[in-house]
Amino acid sequence: MPPSSLRVVYAFAREMHPKTSDVFIEYGTAGFRTKANLLEHVVYRMGLLAVIRSRVKNGRTIGMMITASHNLEPDNGVKLVDPDGEMLEQSWEEIATRLANVSDNDLESTTAEIIKQVNADMSLKASVFIGMDTRYTSPRLAAAAANGVIALKGTPKEFGIVTTPMLHYCVKCRNDNTYGTPTEEGYYEKIVGAFKNIRQKLSVWGDYDTTLYVDGANGVGGKKLNIIKKSLGGELDLKLYNLGGNGGKLNLNCGADFVKVSQKAPVGVEHAPFQRVASLDGDGDRLVYYYLNDTDKMNLLDGDRIATLLASYITELVTASEAQDIRLGLVQTAYANGASTAYITKHLKVPVTCVKTGVKHLHHAALSYDIGVYFEANGHGTVIYSDKAKKIIRKIAQEGEPEQRKAAQLLLDFVDITNETVGDAISDLFLVETVLCARGLSAARWLKAYDDLPCRQLKVTVKDRNAISTTDAERQCTAPEGLQTRINELVAPYKHGRSFVRPSGTEDVVRVYAEADTQESADKLAAEVAQAVFDQAGGVGDRPTLPV
């Protein structure tokens, strides 16, 4: 593409998607995320970048997802998906940030510089898949994304409203047709098909109940489960709540993030004692479970619980299949409950790696295992299987002794239920239901595996959250000076006390996490650390208060 054809990049920007804000925006934990009205030019420019990325990848398809996932309705966001369905390569995040922030006048020259820097062959074809969540601002942003793709003569394909993981899945399938068919229907066929397959091999027994209540967070995940529900027959009876009607607002007092952080049941769900409920987030990439007991006490089964459940079942199948030389490992973040890490290492005897927040970091670390189970405590995660592991399992499924074959075949179905590209609430839900069914477990019995340490998360608003720097997988704070020393002093008196702080990459806040031996202590420690952040990192608004 000759440089003169980059004029159209400027023309589209000036006429249709001008930069209207000077607020600096950064590619964060999961792409760009802010108030929707500040994003149109950013999304248009990411359309340009997706085309350049596709050409650098020899014309392989790149994904663009318009979503702000767990954030409330006024926010929106955009993230790029690499050809294997994984998050954008981290070295490109700085390029994305640069392109998003230049003035309209500098857009043409910056685009040319980036093309040169990454050595993109602009004569190649380029393909970009675009998906969006249910926010009312998403269609306009998806149109800006498509214009960005068109401006650099790429081919956009719009998927309309899909979950984030569906878009990741379709990108992967488009670039690797052995993985599946790159359509929403193809996704259902593979993932739901494998679930139905495995359920026919397992008898429903013990305390397992085929009824599952679901909190759809008033987002896209619940809507898609409503489609899937009809094809499930008697295998699983889904009772769906918070599907977006009746005035329910996206992620507001409902959904996985609300349930995990507030440790409260969502609004909009009819509860029955001990009935397990699956709670999704707004774009269907996170999942937590919970149940209320007969005194309405909340019992949370979060990402740590899902990880341990899946890892122990996979270990059981690998052992039963007598597969040799398959190394399984688990990846967590600093938010993982201390009790879960102890259970995984001491009881399951599975190695654990701790990395920074953000599925991109977890996914990367999980690749170092033959089977990598990665989950954030907030319910974002999946399982990835190396080609080597899949090959070994397939061979046993064909050639092993009857008992080995049976275990290996179950494992192959389990692999097919898994969306290996990224954390996926729908795929994870079917994985969890498979294990609960195979083991005859109720939610209450699932919870008995270990006792969580009580914990609390808080948010503190500061002038500039990037004044906080961290190291050691975000467990230690290196700036502002003195804050870590203060946190250490605050933690010291608490039995099983642990606390850390980090700037959020999706919201304009500093996150505070604390755990201790009692809920009262965890709440108090979190509040004390929040006060220290407020005082030492330039807090704004109301000073956090201690619990009374």
Q: How many residues does the chain have?
A: 548
Judged by CB under 6 A, the residue of 131, 248, 266, 358 near ligand G16 is 358
CB of 121 to ligand G16, least distance (A): 31
Binding residue for ligand G16, selected from 54, 61, 69, 484, defined by CB under 6 A: 69
Q: HSE of 319 in the Cβ direction (CA atoms, 13 Å)?
A: 7
Q: Tally the C-alpha atoms within 13 A of residue 173's C-alpha that lie toward its C-beta.
A: 19
**Measured in whole angstroms, how far is the alpha carbon of residue 319 from the centre of its chain?**
29
Q: Is 69 a catalytic residue?
A: yes
Q: Given the rule CB under 6 A, which of 46-54, 188-196, 353-361, 442-450 is the region that contacts ligand G16? A: 353-361
State yes or no: 377 annotated in a binding site: yes
Least distance (Å) between residue 474 CB and ligand G16: 9
Instruction: Note the maximum CA span of the chain.
Output: 70
The helices-and-strands tally (H runs, E runs) of the chain is 19, 19
Known binder of ligand: residue 506?
yes
3-class DSSP state of 459: strand
Q: Is residue 425 annotated as involved in ligand binding? A: no
User: In the complex, what is the shortest distance from the CB of residue 321 to ligand G16, in angstroms, rounded to a whole number?
Assistant: 32
What would the x/- binding string for ligand G16 be over residues 12 to 51, using CB under 6 A?
A: -----------------xx---------------------
**Annotated binding residue at 386?**
no
**Residue 293, SS3?**
coil
- 86 assigned binding-site residue: no
Given 54, 69, 279, 312, the catalytic residue = 69
Structure-block tokens of residue 535: 């005082």
Other C-beta atoms closer than 10 Å to the C-beta of 386 total 17
Stretch that binds ligand G16, among 128-136, 192-200, 265-273, 503-511 (CB under 6 A): 503-511
Residues touching ligand G16, count (CB under 6 A): 18
CB nearer to ligand G16: pick between 52 and 280: 280
| Residues 254-293 as x/- pattern, contact with ligand G16 by CB under 6 A | ---------------------------x---xx-------
* Token couple for 95: 């390029």
Integer Cα distance of 314 and 418 in angstroms: 12
Collapsing DSSP states into helix, strand and coil, what is residue 498?
A: strand
Among 55, 70, 456, 486, binds ligand G16 (CB under 6 A): 70
Q: Is residue 203 marked as binding? A: no
Name the burial class of residue 139, with classes exposed (0-12), middle (13-18) and buried (19+) by CB atoms within 10 angstroms of its CB: middle
What number of other Cβ atoms are within 10 A of residue 178's Cβ? 5
By CB under 6 A, residue 424 contacts ligand G16: no
**Binder among 101, 357, 470, 499 for ligand G16 (CB under 6 A):** 357
Tokens of residue 182, six digits = 């790159």
Binding of ligand G16 by 504 (CB under 6 A): yes
Task: Output 409 or 470, the one with its CB closest to ligand G16.
Answer: 470
* Token pair for 160: 């309309």
Cα distance between residue 194 and residue 413, in whole Å: 5
**Amino acid identity, position 280:** L
Per-residue x/- mask for ligand G16, residues 505 to 534, rule CB under 6 A? xxx---x-----------------------
| Minimum CB distance to ligand G16, residue 113 (Å) | 29
Closest CA relative to residue 340, chosen from 384, 286, 379: 379
Kindly tell me which of 507 and 528 has the beta carbon lying closer to ligand G16. 507
Q: How many Cβ atoms from other residues are within 10 Å of residue 420's Cβ?
A: 22
Q: Considering beta carbons, is residue 70 or 174 the nearer one to ligand G16? A: 70
Q: How far is the CB of 363 from ligand G16 (least distance, A)?
A: 10
Token digits of residue 138: 């998403």
Q: Would you say 137 or 521 has its CB closer to ligand G16?
A: 137
For CA atoms 377, 382, 385, 386, the dihedral sign is negative
Which positions from 377 through 406 interact with ligand G16, judged by CB under 6 A? 378, 380
CB of 541 to ligand G16, least distance (A): 19
The candidate with the shortest Cα–Cα distance to 84, out of 124, 106, 115, 53, is 53
Asked if 374 and 368 count as a contact pair (C-beta separation under 8 A), the reply is: no
* Strand-pair category, 75-81 with 155-161: unpaired
Measured CA to CA in angstroms, residue 214 lies from 144, 222, 230, 278 at distances of 33, 8, 15, 5
Task: Give min distance, CB of 244 to ligand G16, in A.
Answer: 18
Binding residues: 69, 281, 283, 285, 376-378, 502-506, 511
Residue ranges for the known binding site for substrate are 376-378, 502-506, 511
List contacts with ligand G16 (CB under 6 A): 29-30, 69-70, 281, 285-286, 357-359, 376, 378, 380, 504-507, 511
Active site residues: 69
Feature table: binding site for Mg(2+):
69, 281, 283, 285
